[in-house]
Each structure stands twice: as C-alpha cells, then as structure tokens.
Amino acid sequence: EATRLEQAIQQEDLEPFDLVKVISGCIAGYEHAYSHRRFSFTHNADTARILGSPELTAQMFDKIIANAVDFSEKESEIQVSITVKDKQAELTISNTGPLLPEGMKSQLLQSMVSVRKENDVQNASSPHLGLGLYIANIIMTFHKGQLSLANRKDGTGVVVSARFPLM
C-alpha cells in the first residue's frame, strides 16, 4: 500500500481545497462507522484553504482516526480540532488511552513500526503491519506539512498534530 501510494502521489495534481470541509465530511462518516466512539470537532475559522489533495488528506485522516479508535476505550471521545494561526492550519486528533513509549514518537512515523501489544495483534481480525502513520506522514510530506505525535499534557492519552501551510 505504501509503495503504491508513493507512486500515485507523484501523479497527483495539487488543487485548492477547504480543510475544514474535508475533515467535517470525514467525521460525519466516522460517527456511523465507529458508533462505539464519540467525536467532537472544533475549529477557530470557518475555512482553512490549503493546496494539495482532498482525497489524500481524507486518507491521511482515516489512518490517524483508525489508530485513535484502536488505542482508545469504547464509548470514549476522540477530539478533533483545526486551529488556523500564523499561516498554518493545525489539525489535531486527541484520544484517551495508552501513552506513547518515550523515544518512540518519531519512530512511529516510519514503516513497519507499531506499539501494539502482542495479544492485541493476535486478537485482531487482520494482521497489523505498522503502516498507518507512515502513510499519513508520506501524505503530509506531499502537502509540505508536518506530522507529529505526543502524549497528552494531562497524561491520559495521545495527540497527533498535522500542520498544513495555508494558501
């Protein structure tokens, strides 16, 4: 999947689009697909115009949300926000759950790296290859943006930040 995506990105045309609209549309779908989670969405601007691919951005968001769902408790809330500031749009996804191991935050953006416990992988319906955040990072690089992972300041979970340059 990652190799195919890297090749497809080379053919992708850049177009202006509204990040708020794309993310809002995705969340509407997640509320049905992940009915055992709650989603909140806040944004400090009505629009966030960026140059890139709305389809790839939705794919990146899907990968991050899938991780947030996998690493959070049922019935918990996944918080999504877009903050427009200093010529950037910052998309953050925050969930409660296990913390990231110290020293692993940047490694988790590489291919074939996962922090899933062995029994979680064994109980999964399909094998986990550790490609989700790697693919998300490839997509952010295409958008000339930056993806970062951190533990929540209150120590109750993880926050993923995707920073896009505004048009």
**Does residue 124 have a pLDDT over 60?**
no
- Mean pLDDT computed over 148-152: 93
Structure pTM? 0.84
Q: What rounded mean pLDDT belongs to the chain?
A: 86
Q: How far is CA 85 from CA 18, 43, 48, in A?
A: 15, 11, 10
The domains of the chain, with CATH numbers, are 2-165 (3.30.565.10)
Q: Give CA–CA dist 139/143, Å, rounded.
A: 6
Residue 30 pLDDT class (50, 70, 90 cuts):
very high
